[in-house]
Amino acid sequence: MPANPRPASPGQHKNSSQLDRELQSGKIFRLLVERIQDYAIFLLDTDGCVASWNPGAERMKGYRRDEIIGKHFSVFYTEPDLAIRKPWHELEVAAETGRYEDEGWRLRKDGTRFWANVIITAVRDENGTLLGFGKITRDLSERREAEQRYRLLIEGVTDYAIFSLDPHGVVTSWNTGAQRIKGYSAEEIVGRHFSSFYTPEDAETGLPRHVLKTAAETGHYAGEGWRVRKDGTRFWSSVVVTALRNEGGELIGFSKITRDMSDRKKLLDTIQQHADELELRVAEREQTNAELEAFSYSVSHDLRSPLRAIEGFADMLATDFGEQLPEQAKIYLEQIATATRRMNRLVQDLLEYSRLSRIELTPSAADIATVIENARQQVDEAMREHIHVTAPAGLQAHVHEPTLTQVIYNLIANGLKFHAAGKQPRVEVMAERLAGKIRIKVCDEGIGIAPEHHDRIFQVFERLHSTSKYPGTGIGLAIVKRGIQRMGGNISLQSGPGKGSIFTLELPAA
Ligand code: ADP
């Protein structure tokens, strides 16, 4: 069943017709005007004398009703405006065209100024006779101050070029930074198209158009590139363009912020150049290293068979003809055997070193206490009592276990070997976990190493002593360093002559 339209209540009906009657009589408008506080609304007679006054006018201008009624409205104007007869001119325009609008300084009763928006409307009767003028004044001082502050802020910025464009790309405002960076004064550039800032190449490919199109479509455009100053020189700039739209969404222009990044660009270019050079060097070095490693591998490999032959024949000579040989020949044979043994060690160590460089070292979780124990087991039984280990159970590193075992063995062996004359060797191995890393220290109380040799001893064949004093090949620490590096760890050394040595390894924890 369709609902009956609800009849208007009698009270409602009475109210709206009464409202209409009172509107006709103008009472409502009078009441409205009387209540309004934020606008000065008053009437002027045809000569410009104040004929009515609302509370808003009193609040804004400071005059009471009885003080101002009958006075000429030119009292609200400043000296310069009076000098050009502005009040009278405004009334003439309003009388002629029906309306006059202006923004400018006006005076309060106490002589202070405020920034006013003023609308003057001619009031005429049905026959068109001028009865007077209606005047509405709004105090815009606060807004003007905010705008002024904002404008001063933008204008004062010197590190950035901040300017605005109309929707077609014509420059409409220009700050100090823009003048400093681009070289044009505001008078020279306002009104010109912003494509003058682009290089001929960019202008040709339509970059300026693309920039505005992107900003209009997506809200903003950001980019870096070469721009041209007034004097034709180029600078590297970083640019942000933002589309400006009014409340209705209509495009009213663009703001553009440009920064001169030439110094940074120069720096980046230099860094890039260095990086390129470095990369080239590294590539060359890698090539040389690879060749050297291939060479040392084949040398070590190919050295082994003649070495085996020497060893074998010397052995046969001793076994088959030992009885017939004079004593001196036997001594020579013994020396041949010692030299070949040493040669064998050298070849083996070299092979191990180059193998460590070539093979894939796939890491996995390794128990550190076990690794240290395995390394200890490789030491001659008689010497093991001089090794003291402190490694908590469950400590795990992410390493290639055989390589780490070899590294620790080499360090322990050195610690035992380089002990001071007349003193018992003592090596201590300690392991701990520290901020995502496993730290292993191998310490001895031996002869120590002078600081100037700390780097050198990690290189192949670098030794500080004769083999007769301390036997060795000079490859042990090179293997240690290469192995640690290849497992993503690092090694450091604390030592001084007579002070013992501490080798510290840091490896990724598992
Ligand atoms: P090698 O031990 O076969 O001589 P390394 O490469 O292991 O070769 O060591 C190089 C040199 O560094 C040694 O010859 C020695 O002079 C010095 N060095 C290494 N470890 C120690 C240590 N723990 N104490 C004193 N000197 C050491």
- Full DSSP string of 32-67: HHHH--SEEEEEEETTSBB----HHHHHHH---HHH
**Residue range 274-309, pLDDT digits in tens:** 999 999 998 888 887 778 778 877 877 888 888 899
Q: Establish whether residue 109 lines the binding site of ligand 1, counting it when its CB lies within 6 angstroms of any ligand atom.
A: no
**Residue range 94-124, pLDDT digits in tens:** 999 999 999 999 999 999 999 999 999 999 9
18 — pLDDT class (breaks 50, 70, 90): low
CA of 395 to the centre of ligand 1 (A): 28
Q: Establish whether residue 300 lines the binding site of ligand 1, counting it when its CB lies within 6 angstroms of any ligand atom.
A: no
**Residue range 226-274, pLDDT digits in tens:** 999 999 999 999 999 999 998 899 999 999 999 999 988 899 899 999 9
**Residue range 22-62, pLDDT digits in tens:** 656 677 777 777 777 789 999 999 999 999 999 999 999 99
- Full DSSP string of 270-327: HHHHHHHHHHHHHHHHHHHHHHHHHHHHHHHHHHHHHHHHHHHHHHHHHHHHTTTS-H
CA 178 to chain centre: 25
Q: Establish whether residue 132 lines the binding site of ligand 1, counting it when its CB lies within 6 angstroms of any ligand atom.
A: no
- Full DSSP string of 422-476: TS---EEEEEEEETTEEEEEEEE-SS---GGGTTGGGSTT--SS-TTTS---S-H
Q: Establish whether residue 501 lines the binding site of ligand 1, counting it when its CB lies within 6 angstroms of any ligand atom.
A: yes
Provide the pLDDT for residue 155: 80
Q: Establish whether residue 21 lines the binding site of ligand 1, counting it when its CB lies within 6 angstroms of any ligand atom.
A: no
Residue 12 clears pLDDT 50, i.e. is over it: no
**Residue range 408-452, pLDDT digits in tens:** 999 999 999 999 888 899 999 999 999 889 999 999 999 999 999
CA of 487 to the centre of ligand 1 (A): 22
CA of 242 to the centre of ligand 1 (A): 67
- Relative to the CA of 472, which ligand 1 atom is closest? 3
Q: Establish whether residue 339 lines the binding site of ligand 1, counting it when its CB lies within 6 angstroms of any ligand atom.
A: no
Protein residue with its CA nearest to atom 12 in ligand 1: 457
pTM of the model: 0.51
Provide the pLDDT for residue 11: 45
Provide the pLDDT for residue 156: 79
| Substitution site in 463, 475, 495 for ligand 1 pocket (most atoms within 8 Å of beta carbon) | 463
> How many percent of the chain have pLDDT more than 90?
71
CA of 367 to the centre of ligand 1 (A): 27
